[in-house]
Amino acid sequence: MTLRRNLLVLVLLCTSLSLSAQQNDLKLWYDKPSGKVWEKAMPVGNGRLAGMVYGNPERETIQLNEATLWSGGPSRNDSETSLAALPEVRRLIFENKRKEAAAIASKAMKSNRDNGMCYQPVGNLYLNFPGHQSYTNYYRDLDISNAIATTSYTVDGVTYKREVFASHANQVIVVHLTASKPGSLTFSAAMWSPQKSNVVTKGKDELVLSGVSGDRDGIKGRDEFQALVKVKLDGGQLATSDTSVNVTNATAATLFISIATNFVKYDDISADESARANAYLDKAWPIPYAKLVSNHVAAYQKYFNRVKLDLGTSDSVKNPTDRRIDGFASGNDPQLVELYFQFGRYLLISSSQPGGQPANLQGIWNKEMSPPWGSKYTININTEMNYWPAEETNLAEMHLPLVQMVKELSVTGQQTATSMYGVGGWLTHHNTDLWRITGPVDGIYSGLWPSGGAWLSTQLWDRYMYNGDKAYLKSVYNALRGAAQFYLEFLVEEPEHKWLVVSPSNSPENNPQAYGNGIAIDAGVTMDNQIVFDIFSEVISAAKILGVDKEFAGKLKAARDRLPPMQIGQYSQLQEWLHDLDSPRDHNRHVSHLYGLYPSNQISPYRTPELFDAARTSLIYRTDVSTGWSMGWKVNFWARLLDGNHAFKLIQNQLTPTGKNRGSSNNGGGTYPNMFDAHPPFQIDGNFGCAAGITEMLMQSADGALNLLPALPDAWPAGTITGLRARGGFEIVSMQWKGGKLAKVTIKSTLGGNCRLRLPNGAKLVGPKDSYGAGTLKTAKGLNTNFFYQNEETAKPIISSQAQLKPTGAKETMLYDFATVAGKTYTLVGI
Ligand code: FUC
């Protein structure tokens, strides 16, 4: 009997131990409050509302945002003098008189209006707890498995607990406060905003903050907002002063935070923010707390639970998250990679929801009136990177705000195409904002780059490669077509080879020394050539699929044939510019000419081995450590270069506390204690880029086959992942690997068609028994008959006589074909 009871206790103990270990797996947790440091606070968000929870016992701060609160109001920023200057600027570039070209462009093409508006904060909610200066048992966390931030501590034997979430179901931020001893919860709630605003109290239980966004670049702030905080009590008393709600001797309290603005659309700010904020609040108010939680968790987990990753675990999981980040690069903590990957997915679900705004430079979290780079949309890399994990990590719905933004830009950008360049179609330069500006932002060094809209458009096409949904393709066709039409009319013939090139432009935020300091103005840069190649090819395919625009597609084909091919220069590098001007000592954070390697698929170890090696050489010259987003991009590059160990090295650099990365002129990028990516300052792109890179190490689908475990590092010999999506509508229901080899994979086909697999080892098909060709896997040969895996042919590169190219070094793989039927699931085991 005693033995049985002891056994039972042991079993129970083990279960609860393993449960708590498991529960810890998806938590960012800390044993100290954030104090004043925003980058230690925990982010919550529902795509529209966001909060940063500091977890300070005596004075809690929850910094608040609403996704449509931006400085200014509806505006445009085209330059009116550009068109007249265009021929002269082009002529000077072709004559290699770049200084002169830049001088004219700086005067005539730069925007003389605004340089983009800022994403701005709503303000702070403060909760003051008298007597909570000294506390014990402090703990706080962000549980990304249910999107709830919790703080708890003990004062005078009473344990206080705060739970905060931005409800995905009920459109309010909820703060739930409890005390372990009835009647011991006493606090006051107040609000503050850096905006032009005022705070009043309403009844006995409510704060009302009303304001209007800031002015900027001479554009008046017209984005009006209202934030309401209403308190519901369990026991105790409620009272208000002029500016605070005061609670005494309660046992529990639930605070409902409702925020709204007058923003309807980029050119319409006619909504009534107060009516909206009240409507959200009135709807949520009657719902009991437990139901608010279950609604929220269900709505969040619908997305989050689709993907699970297990790379193994170590004792490090017992440490607080900031200590784990500190030790990651020199230790063994594979679970932190899982946490970082899932945190990326958490951030995307929290900052980008259908019907809302896309994630900006800081996602949806910003405390500054004048944040770095306006916390807007920089689209010469950053916004695109935000969405790299969307399709493949099974968050396709989160992509929709970006799709909508591109549709809107394809309207506002038409006027820019006509007025600035005298051509049809549409474009954006290297930035945009809530008001969908499409003119150049900042100086021409970075701002005079006309390919932002086209790059974004290629991502809309890529979404089609995953979903194969013709109705979707039709809905974005006009945007894609307009992006291609812009180039068709804008491309000019360069004098030397008679290639068609984009001019004026630049290779984002970089220049060869030969042009002189600060001069980047250019024609025919490699990244532009690659982007034009993609958007032309995509529109040619889309027109064919939709049975439209035959003649237009013919014109695109003819122009595509006249684009410059990629070139390999004297240092065996992929040339960034039309001429061989790269320096092996150039460590610029942008690696724009490798767009063709990732996110595009123009460079491949199997189809273009010389370009593959040249791209690798260029990347080695650029070095590893850099800004956060640059390192995130490099994880993807090294994954596409099939070098898992080098990709892992970049993850180590990324998961290093900011400021601690050494040995590079690009010091500084890394990770903050709350796992936010450090440019520095905080910029969310690196979180997303690195999450996408981790995925690309485990699965790729851009190069003619579904490539499983293409870049597995030695650090992850065994693991499992569920729920990834691949092009052609394939879903990796689950995949397991052991000893670096594929052990088992289950693939669901949603569109049917040939499944071509590239594997590190042999495999056999074990199910389903009734499937076509069950049990057999044909060795793949020739062109993949599956449209979604048919790559456009990359033009043969021009190779410098001084270049010394190396073999790709790609490991031998097995290449199989098997036919699939839409809706069926197939299981293979490794042999
Ligand atoms: C681009 C980058 C910077 C920064 C900014 C927001 O201009 O060159 O590094 O990320 O965007």
Q: Which atom of ligand 1 is nearest to the CA of 629?
A: 10
> What does DSSP assign to residue 96?
T
What distance in angstroms lies between residue 216's CA and the mean position of ligand 1's atoms?
20
Q: Which of 115, 509, 629, 682 to mutate to test the pocket of ligand 1 (most atoms within 8 A of CB)?
A: 509
User: 592-612 pLDDT, tens per residue?
Assistant: 999 999 999 999 999 999 999
Return the closest-CA partner of residue 740 out of 722, 706, 713, 776. Answer: 713
- Rounded distance between C-alpha atoms, residue 532 and residue 500, angstroms: 10
Please return the burial class of 9, using the count of CB atoms within 10 Å of its CB with bins 0-12, 13-18 and 19+: exposed
Q: Where are the alpha helices (DSSP H) in 305-449?
A: 321-328, 334-351, 382-386, 388-392, 400-421, 444-447
Query: DSSP per residue over 638-697, as a string?
Result: HHHTT-HHHHHHHHHHHTSBTT---SSTTTT-EE-TTSPEESSSB-THHHHHHHHHHHHH
Amino acid residing at 268: D
pLDDT tier at 130 (50, 70, 90 boundaries)?
very high
> Contact at 8 Å (CB) between 244 and 188?
yes
Which of 119, 370, 378 should be mutated for ligand 1, with most atoms under 8 A from CB?
A: 378
pLDDT-based confidence at 110, cuts 50/70/90? Answer: very high
Quick one: average pLDDT of 206-217?
97
Residue 330 CA, ligand 1 centroid: distance in Å: 29
Determine the length of the chain. Answer: 831
Mean pLDDT of 524-552: 98
**Average pLDDT of the residues of the chain:** 95
Query: Ligand 1 centre from 122 Cα, in Å?
Result: 25
| Alpha-carbon gap, residue 188 to 143, rounded angstroms | 27
Q: Taking CA 544 as the corner, what is the angle to CA 815 and CA 556, rounded to the nearest 5 degrees?
A: 100
Cα of 309 to ligand 1 centre, how many Å?
31
What share of the chain in percent tops pLDDT 70? 96
Minimum-distance ligand 1 atom for the alpha carbon of 508:
8
Q: Is residue 437 within 8 Å of residue 412, measured between CB atoms?
A: yes
Task: Decide: 260 and 273 in contact? Cβ < 8 Å.
Answer: yes
768 has pLDDT over 90: no
DSSP 97: -
Do strands 185-192 and 196-202 pair parallel, antiparallel, or not at all (unpaired)? Answer: unpaired
Q: Ligand 1: distance of its center to the CA of 97 in Å?
A: 27
Peptide bond into 680 cis (omega under 30): yes
pLDDT tens for each residue of 622-651: 999 999 999 999 999 999 999 999 999 999
User: Which residue's C-alpha comes closest to atom 11 of ligand 1?
Assistant: 378
Q: What is the pLDDT of residue 114?
A: 84
- Using the 8-state DSSP alphabet, how is residue 58 labeled? S
List, for residues 572-591, the tens digit of each pLDDT value: 999 999 999 999 999 999 99
- Name the residue at shortest CA distance from atom 8 of ligand 1: 509
Instruction: From the CA of 373, give the closest atom in ligand 1.
Output: 6
User: Best substitution site from 379, 381, 507 to test ligand 1's pocket, by max atoms within 8 Å of Cβ?
Assistant: 381
The atom number, within ligand 1, closest to the CA of 683 reads: 10
State the average pLDDT over residues 227-236.
98
The residue among 55 and 667 whose pLDDT is bigger is: 55
Look at residue 112 in the predicted model and tell me its pLDDT.
79
* pLDDT value for 9: 46
The pLDDT of residue 1 is 39
For residues 786 and 756, the answer to whether their CB atoms sit within 8 Å is: yes
Residues whose beta carbon lies within 6 Å of some atom of ligand 1: 361, 373, 378, 382, 446, 509, 589, 627, 629, 679, 683
Distance, CA 107 to ligand 1 centroid (Å)?
A: 23
Dist. CA 668 → ligand 1 center (Å): 14
- Measured in angstroms, how far is the CA atom of residue 501 from the centroid of ligand 1? 25
Q: Which of 626, 679, 687 to mutate to test the pocket of ligand 1 (most atoms within 8 A of CB)?
A: 679
